[in-house]
Amino acid sequence: MHDAIDHYRVLDTSMVMFDENVHTVDEHAKELLEEHTAISTDEVVPVTVAGDGDCLFHSLQTFYPTMSINELRARCIDELCTHEQYYETIKTEMGLDIVDDESVQNHVLRIINNQQYTGVLTFAALSTVIGQPIESIYPSVNENDAYCEVLNTVFIPRNKQLSSSETPTRIMWPGPEKEVDIIS
């Protein structure tokens, strides 16, 4: 599988224009952005994606509409399996283990199935898959939420350095619930 994935490259450019014929504004996400982040909804438009457990793959497919979620999943799994130790290391170095203590191997065994919620390891691997940074946006709806400190980050592709001219692909976590999704 790895050889086939290497043979078919991901396009270098993502689709970043909102198309009202294709996309639907996610009003709840827009409200979360306006009320709980410093991100202006004048510069970004949150779009609705299927919330079926594959939402991260659906979100990324919004930027890469020619790729199926199954292709994104396969490329992500290949990346995680090929560079397992790298992802175990960054999980610890970035403090991501506070929100996801699952090993890379267990993560892969879980997300190999459709409709399985992903996590920080998937974010990290997908940045390498698409070859550009992914900004993880986690609205601060709960005060003193340690998740916010960890999840509001930029995942850099494994084989690149962050360029100041490079704009990350922004993906927001599905809305955290007040007083429910919190760690202190």
- C-beta contacts of 29-35 below 8 A and 24+ residues apart: 29/172, 29/175, 32/139, 32/141, 32/172, 32/175, 33/137, 33/139, 33/172, 35/139
* DSSP β-bridge partners for residue 153: 136
**What is the pLDDT at residue 77?**
96
**What is the pLDDT at residue 10?**
60
Does 89 have pLDDT greater than 80?
yes
Report if residue 180 sits inside a domain.
Answer: no
Number of folded domains in the chain?
1
The model's pTM: 0.83
Report if residue 39 sits inside a domain.
Answer: yes
What tens digit of pLDDT does each residue of 17-44 get? Answer: 777 778 888 888 888 888 888 888 888 8
- Residue range(s) defining the domain that contains residue 134: 2-172
Residue appearing with tokens 């610890």: 92
Instruction: Please classify residue 58 by burial: count the beta carbons closer than 10 Å to its beta carbon, then call 0-12 exposed, 13-18 middle and 19+ buried.
Output: middle
**What is the pLDDT at residue 180?**
44
Q: Is 145 left (phi over 0), alpha (psi -120 to 50) or beta?
A: beta
Report if residue 182 sits inside a domain.
Answer: no
Report if residue 50 sits inside a domain.
Answer: yes
What tens digit of pLDDT does each residue of 108-143 get? Answer: 999 998 888 888 999 999 999 999 899 999 888 776
**What is the pLDDT at residue 182?**
42
CA distance 9 to 43: 29
Report if residue 177 sits inside a domain.
Answer: no
**What is the pLDDT at residue 20?**
78
Does 155 have pLDDT greater than 70?
yes
Report if residue 29 sits inside a domain.
Answer: yes
Does 176 have pLDDT greater than 70?
no
Query: Poorest-confidence range of 13-22, 98-107, 125-134, 145-154?
Result: 13-22
Q: What is the CATH number of the domain that holds 99?
A: 3.90.70.80
CA distance 129 to 111: 16
**Which of 127, 126, 15 minimizes the C-alpha distance to 71?**
126
Here the tokens at position 136 are 């993880």
Report if residue 184 sits inside a domain.
Answer: no
Q: What is the mean pLDDT of the chain?
A: 82
Report if residue 100 sits inside a domain.
Answer: yes
